Structure 1
């Protein structure tokens, strides 16, 4: 069996003697994209903090590959609004060289914003900047907390395509947190449904009809949303607009979900 980048075995994390994460198993190898979904308060962020090494576990075992480098993309970029800060300066604060920063920005498609103010970036541009900062570390494992937060639906499709491409390019593992299965259906290899414990896990299309998923989230994804896998016959700009390819087909296929 291929060595795991990170492995959790029956991990429990207690707050005030109450388990917020209860006997969770998780194994991530190179090339994996694993998405953890669950309602608010399910323990998703707590579990991720344990992987990042900033949340002690109460029971179980957590092991990491020797010399593992993790790139972390937080849910939000919070900066003091009165502090002038360019994209270039923000990247250099990571401690990486100018060349490494420039290459990382190019990989996420925002190197043309090098001199722009971070405060003036769109939601999609900010997420790509945060992703570039994580990539500058040349990580073995990417950890993303709600990476599509604040990005419109077509921008989300482009962002998830980018994450898959980066996984291929870096041959890294990816752990993502999401609260919506339909947003990551086409972007992930495996889904873990968490509600303190692992309710169910497996391939995305199977999870949506699992009785445990339906009990937690109310109804199958297919009954509440029209879910489409994103086709690669066109491309988007940073704001999600189609810029090349078959526009007629893109209109029906590039949205992952319609209410």
Structure 2
């Protein structure tokens, strides 16, 4: 579960990047987080993950306060950033073992999880190659596997489908659904509105640091009294505001 209460962040003391944001993402849900460039998505994700601190407000991950108890809060989630270009000099397997070490995953558990993840993402053949030799999509899959190797309850995925081939994209969406259906939480940022419409249980749209809408796609259509696609409604909400 993720709870954000009255979260605000300004840069340079001027315009708020995020203003008085309130969100609750319960267990058992894929939650989509959408917004145009510069809307406050990245700032919000950085505050949820503890990369930056809010100027005010509260960030709670599975009842752990990010400001008061950051180490325990960070143990609750796995975070896929929007760039996979990390630790390029390591081999894939070295990186996965490094991530397992960071989260105190036992030798037996990590081996089973690495094998399962590498098999699902078709990466078994490449684990002994250096990450810098990987394609963008292979790097993305390696980062995802590293995030999931400690089996976190909360997944925070920032544009995770970027660069993935269709099969791997399908696999990740399938895993997101399995994770949510097992009673855990998936926070999913994407710019592909068609994917959000099909995959997410609920979505929030942020623009200029303010949540414009939060709910199901059906509730969005009812709210705006339209049968249009999410893409059309999103554009009408965020363009020229």
Tell me the equivalent position of 1:10: 6
Matches within 5 A, 1:113-192: 113=125, 114-152=127-165, 155-169=168-182, 171-192=183-204
Query: Measured at CA, do residues 43 and 56 of structure 1 come closer, stay the same or move farther in structure 2, by a change above 3 Å?
Result: same
Q: Which has the higher contact order (CA 8 A, sep 6+)?
A: 2
Distance 2:16 2:58 in 1: 15
Tell me the equivalent position of 2:230: none
Query: Measured at CA, do residues 9 and 19 of structure 1 come closer, stay the same or move farther in structure 2, by a change above 3 Å?
Result: same
Aligned residues: 211
The TM-score, its normalising length taken from structure 2, stands at: 0.76
Instruction: Look up the SS of the partner of 2:9 in the other structure.
Output: strand
The answer to whether the 8 Å contact 1:21/1:43 transfers is: yes
Instruction: Look up the SS of the partner of 1:163 in the other structure.
Output: helix
What is the CA deviation profile of residues 156-180 of structure 1, one whole-angstrom value per residue up to 9, with x for unaligned ones? 33321222223345x4211111123
Instruction: Look up the SS of the partner of 2:150 in the other structure.
Output: coil
Query: Measured at CA, do residues 103 and 75 of structure 1 come closer, stay the same or move farther in structure 2, by a change above 3 Å?
Result: farther
The answer to whether the 8 Å contact 1:160/1:184 transfers is: no
The TM-score, its normalising length taken from structure 1, stands at: 0.71
Tell me the equivalent position of 2:67: none
Q: How far has the Cα of 1:38 moved from its partner?
A: 0.3
Instruction: Look up the SS of the partner of 1:93 in the other structure.
Output: helix
Distance 2:161 2:167 in 1: 10
Query: Measured at CA, do residues 127 and 93 of structure 1 come closer, stay the same or move farther in structure 2, by a change above 3 Å?
Result: same
Query: Measured at CA, do residues 80 and 135 of structure 1 come closer, stay the same or move farther in structure 2, by a change above 3 Å?
Result: closer
The answer to whether the 8 Å contact 2:155/2:187 transfers is: yes
- Range with greater deviation from structure 2 (40-49 or 145-154): 145-154
Higher helix share: 2
Distance 2:21 2:222 in 1: 21
Structure 1 position 200 matched with structure 2 position 213: yes
Within the candidate set 49, 70, 78, 1:52 is matched to 49
Query: Measured at CA, do residues 88 and 154 of structure 1 come closer, stay the same or move farther in structure 2, by a change above 3 Å?
Result: closer
Which 4+ stretches in 1 moved above 4 angstroms? Answer: 152-155, 208-212
Tell me the equivalent position of 1:90: 95
Within the candidate set 33, 58, 65, 1:61 is matched to 58
Q: What is the RMSD computed on CA atoms of the aligned residues?
A: 2.5
Tell me the equivalent position of 2:83: 76
Structure 1 unaligned blocks of 5 or more? 219-259
Tell me the equivalent position of 2:237: 216
Q: How far has the Cα of 1:209 moved from its partner?
A: 7.7
Structure 2 unaligned blocks of 5 or more? 65-71, 225-232
